[in-house]
Structure 1
Amino acid sequence: MRSGAKVGIVGGVFVVVASGVAYGGYNLWNGITGGSQDVGTRSAPKTGPVTAEEVTATAGDFLAAWAAGEAERAGGLTNDPVTAAPAIAAYREGAGVSETTITAGTPTGAVVPFTVKATVTYDGVSKPWTYESKLSVVRGESTGRPLVKWTPTVLHPKLAAGATLRTGTAKTPPVKAVDHKGVALPPEKYPSLVPALDALRQRYGGKAGGEAGVETWIESANGTPSSTLLVLSAGKPGELRTTIDAGVQAAAEKAVKEFPNAAVAAVEPSSGAIRAVANNPASGFNTAFQGKQAPGSTMKIVTAAMMMRYGVAGPDSRVECPPTVTWDGYPFHNLKDFSTEGDLTNAFAMSCNTAFIKAINPLKDKGVHNTALGDTARKWFGIGEVWSVGVQTEDGNVPESSGTETAASYIGQGAITMNALNMASISATVKDGGFRQPYLVAEDGEDGQKFATAERLPGEVARGLRKMMNAAATAPEGTAREAMRGVSSPKGAKTGSAEVGTQSTSNSWFTGYSGDLAAAAVVEAGGHGGDAAGPVVAAVLKAG
């Protein structure tokens, strides 16, 4: 059999079609290898990468056993049969799967994609269910046998460790989500909202006045439903009003699709209301809310606030911006080793790393250089507080640092982690003059929801930050100028690029505001902030 053979399973019977000849296979692997050998003549375990024939045959045997409902046999074809066999059995029993047809696609190396077509039945109601997944074939460490690498995502791409599939009467009624003006937010039109709306349904569905239907869902290890996969009989949805703006959301969905991996969030500065959240890919992990990534030079907004707070420099203070600066024996560089002269506003607009790292010395004299950035982030921007957005979020982290990590943190590297929502909130705080915790559903206090708070920015600090962000967005030397061209005033922005491990190209970051809307975006491996993330943010701001 050669690579590229067509593989299919119909009614639990595995079929391989190669060169126009069909081969049935109950134990195709043994058919290819000549079966098992006697113990006395067994050769040493095979080593090296799995072959194309091994991949096709092993995947076929596994999928055939799974489709036939033979959990023990399917589990035995994986590298973790103790975990796999019960999970495969629970797939059929817990989800109410009565029939299964699996069709494998063309392997790519050791990875085999496949399509599952199943029938789900519950209380006399049946409905077809189709989805795609994939598996990988590896060589057993002790036996040398080709085996399916077990992971719950083999059964379904959204299935996590410890989670199970369930079919029955839903634990909460469905909801019809609407934006802050009452415009409907159907998931097929706004796919990036699906993870957030699923979470909002679990939290607020019981209060929205609907009636539960029969569904298939993923249930986490603690018994909490997380994703509806199939609706067998629709319930009566209750209406859930969110802070989303349908027009801004549509612009965000369109903007992130320009890049393979991108996330954006938009917040109303005057209220904290979240107007948009979008990710590409749209399904799965909500990077915009739950990402934990170094934000690069967008963090200089907070660093500049710290410098003003401790009297190191203000927007009109003359600062040094040499090509490089060394801290704790490690050299830090500006982009292409540029240098400039002028005030802090100029250094901010041009995103001069060295000018901000030089703030360490005067802060060291005050004994706060390792803690001042995190203290400022918490005090004025709410970063480090626990946010109650309405769905799960990562709330930003600016930990105490030391050595070279302190210098790195001043330019948004080191141990600092942020996401698009955090950085959109930072721009919103500058625009409004004070932190207002972002939220998707209005605070009601009924389930312990309580918004995080922070002190308002001192007036001179707020004005200084707005001056610097406006220069970055409008001055001839401003790194955000090109991206913000055409965005309405008053406006401000900050670019960033963050180095990530061995990734050859930096992540692109951008945050800014226009009128009463602030937004931030991150594009994985997008390079300079103004080149990739900048246009995403600009598109969202223009829609506001």
Structure 2
Amino acid sequence: MRTVGRIVLGGVVAGVVGVAGVGVYNIYDAMAGGSSGTERPDGPLSDAQVTKAASDFLTAWQNGNDQRAAGFTNDAVAALGALTRYREGTHVTKVKLTQGEADGTEVPFTVAAHIDTGEKRSTWTYESSLDVVRGETSGRPLVSWKTSVLHPKLKTSGDTLMTGEAALPSSIKVLDRHGKALDEKDFPSLSPVLASLRKRYATESGGSPAIAIQVNGSPSQVLHILRAGKPGTLRTTVDAKAQRAAEAQVARHEDASVVAVKPSTGEILAIANSARTEFNTALQGQTAPGSTFKIVTAATLLEQGKVTAEKSLPCPKYAAYRQGKSFHNLESGEQLDATFAEDFAASCNTAFVSLADEISDDALAAEAREVFGIGPVWNIGVSSSEGKVPTEGGDEKAAAMIGQGRVQMNALTMASVAATAQSGRFRQPYLVAPSLDHREVATAERALTPAVARQLKSMMRLTATSGTGARAMTGLRGDIGAKTGSAEVDGQGRPDAWFTAYRGDMAAAARVPASGHGGDTAGPVVRAVLGTGG
């Protein structure tokens, strides 16, 4: 009877293909003496049973018989699929498996996998292990199937190993504008920026990708490199000297941020944040910029002929607007005998609020978009937020006049605003040359008129030499200009300090949250960066 059974089973095995036959070997072994077929074995597994079950599985796997190997597990269908993907996905031509001594039901083993991609050959050696259990229905010793049997880094049933090109982030050298290497060790504040650049410009960096075995094709989970590849290089617009100064300055404060740009081109010279997070406050933050936004407001009023730099405009201590909302000065006191330029230099809120009725509800938003480039999407090379200047009426418009309300900016956008004031024309900031990946950059509809540009620069120079920005800008010579800001934030005891300024062909802006007047804390940050160039 046993002979007849073997013959019939042999005929079945010969005719079975694919997954349908994976359970046949279990049946065969049971009829061949592994079990009587009438009683389910139970109790602890003996050392001999554990060793044999592991050996049967490993021998079949080594011989390239994935179906038979799967039949020695407690989930033959899943095991067959995983074993097949292992061979095909990693280009494994053969494996040599060396079984170790069992520790209870766990059996360690060494894998020496021979990889042949057609282009590259390699032997990959690593350690793994398996566990032997009794089958739930048969009670026979079987390998407890888990994807981690193939490799310990495979954590879930959906994890796979893949051999192919791998753009390893660490193989891309990011350089500053002068060819100096930028790395996380020397410039820790740049860490998320460098990671983003390496990922985004892996193809354009000029290197050749590595060939590697990865978990799920992820560059962060490389298990074996067949070919190291050629490191690529990516040149940025960053100036290492300015970047070092920026990093040193923000490190003195909590959650501070600063950005420097080149007005003549838009090139970003430095980016630094004191907070070490994936969210880049300097580039992606959105918060009220306070009186630094008066650069845009002043340009609007000057262009529309509502004021001139020398026009008399009192600065009362308080001012009320249509709905009765009261506004007060944060950085200056009462100054009833003043010009518009002096109000700007003293950062007089009430003088600016008093002119809210002189412009339309959409005037600030239009000026910000048409002249300063605030509104269109900026493609700087990494993720950024381009600022928001909504159309407002009533008290909200009055608040927007002084950079409060729903006006939202960050160090990048305010550095760009100062750069536009310096050169008279908006040039979109960028970190990597647009020509590298042929991306479009934002443009503004028009430049500042020459007359307005001259008045705006004279007002910013007055701020830098004798106004609220004078102490911070002390010692800087040449073409300089500045604007301070103190932005009130709900529930915050002290205002956010803002400062934006330029010196020659360098403009910068900084924000130091909950630290008081802009000239006191944010000012020195900007001044130190401007001191490196311009």
- Normalised to the residue count of structure 1, the TM-score between the two structures is 0.64
Match of 1:179 in 2: 176
* 2:381 paired with 1:385: no
Q: Structure 2 residue aligned with 1:346, among 342, 346, 369? A: 342
- Over 3 Å counting, the alpha-carbon distance change for 1:165 and 1:524 in structure 2 is farther
Which residue pairs with 1:197 in the alignment? 194
- How far has the Cα of 1:185 moved from its partner? 1.0
Distance in 2 of aligned mates of 1:408 and 1:488: 34
- Is contact 1:191-1:283 (8 Å) kept? no
* Cα deviations by residue, 1:306-358 (Å, 9 ceiling, x for unpaired): 11111111111111211111112111011287211221110001000011111
CA distance in 2, matches of 1:500, 1:167: 51
CA distance in 1, matches of 2:211, 2:231: 13
Mapping of residues 389-400 of structure 1, within 5 Å: 389-400=380-391
Contact 1:488-1:542 at 8 Å conserved across structures? no
| Aligned equivalents of 1:379, 1:529: Cα separation in 2 | 27
Maintained 8 Å contact 2:320/2:327: yes
Q: Is this contact kept in 2: 1:172–1:206, CA < 8 A?
A: no
Deviates more, 1:396-405 or 1:346-355: 396-405
TM superposition shift of 1:215: 9.4
- Matched residues in 1 for 2:224 and 2:246: separation? 32
Cα separation, 2, equivalents of 1:211 and 1:307: 55
Q: 1:274, CA displacement in angstroms?
A: 0.5
Q: 1:446 to 1:332 in 2, by over 3 A?
A: same
SS in 2 for 1:520: strand
Structure possessing the higher radius of gyration over alpha carbons: 2
Task: Give the match for residue 241 of structure 1.
Answer: 235
Residues 206 and 339 (structure 1), Cα distance of their counterparts in 2 relative to 1, 3 Å cut: same
- 2:471 corresponds to which of 457, 470, 482: 482
Match of residue 208, structure 1, among 170, 180, 205:
205
Distance 1:271 1:448, change over 3 A: closer
* In 2, Cα distance between equivalents of 1:218 and 1:536: 44
Distance 2:432 2:256 in 1: 24
Structure 1 residue 398, shift from structure 2 partner: 0.2
Q: What is the 5 A alignment of 1:454-473?
A: 454-473=445-464
Change (3 A) 1:231 1:490: farther
Aligned to 1:270: 264
Of 489, 492, 504, which residue of structure 2 is paired with 1:500?
489
Q: Cα offset for 1:375?
A: 0.6
* Amino acid across the alignment from 1:320: P
Instruction: Give the drift of 1:125.
Output: 7.7
Per-residue displacement from partner, 1:360-413 (whole Å, max 9, x unpaired)? 1222xxxx1x11111111111001111111111100110011221111100000
Instruction: Determine which of 323, 326, 330 is the counterpart of 1:331.
Output: 326
1:214 deviates by 8.2
For residue 523 of structure 1, what is the aligned residue in structure 2? 512
2:316 is the alignment partner of 1:319: no
Give yes or no for contact 1:377–1:383 (8 Å, CA) kept in 2: yes
Q: Letter of the aligned partner of 1:521 in structure 2?
A: A
Task: Confirm or deny: 8 A CA contact 1:180 1:243 kept in the other structure.
Answer: yes
* Structure 1: 5+ residue stretches without partners: 1-121, 128-163
Aligned to 1:362: 358
TM-score in terms of structure 2 length: 0.66
Q: SS of 1:209's equivalent? A: coil
- 1:56-67 counterparts in 2 under 5 A? none
After superposition, the C-alpha distances for 1:487-538 in whole angstroms (9 at most, x for unaligned) are 2321110010111121111111000000110000001112110111101000
Give the distance between the partners of 1:404 and 1:296, measured in 2 at CA: 15
Figure out how many residues of one structure are paired with residues of the other and give that number: 375
| Partners of 2:507 and 2:236 in 1: CA distance | 18
Unaligned 5+ segments in structure 2 are 1-112, 114-122, 128-158
Deviation at 1:486, TM superposition (A): 1.5
Q: What do the CA deviations read for 1:26-66 (whole angstroms, capped 9, x no partner)?
A: xxxxxxxxxxxxxxxxxxxxxxxxxxxxxxxxxxxxxxxxx
Q: Distance in 2 between matches of 1:433 and 1:176?
A: 35
Cα displacement string for residues 163-192 of structure 1 (whole angstroms, at most 9, x for unaligned residues): x99998644653211111111112211122
Q: Is it true that 1:255 corresponds to 2:246 in the alignment?
A: no
Structure number with the higher helix fraction is: 2
- The residue identity in structure 1 corresponding to 2:355 is A
Alignment partner of 1:320: what SS?
coil
Aligned letter for 1:435? F
**In structure 1, how many angstroms separate the alpha carbons of the residues matched to 2:257 and 2:124?**
42
RMSD: 2.9
Preserved CA contact (<8 Å) 1:192 1:283: no
**How has the CA–CA distance of structure 1 residues 525 and 124 changed in structure 2, closer, same or farther, with 3 Å as cutoff?**
farther
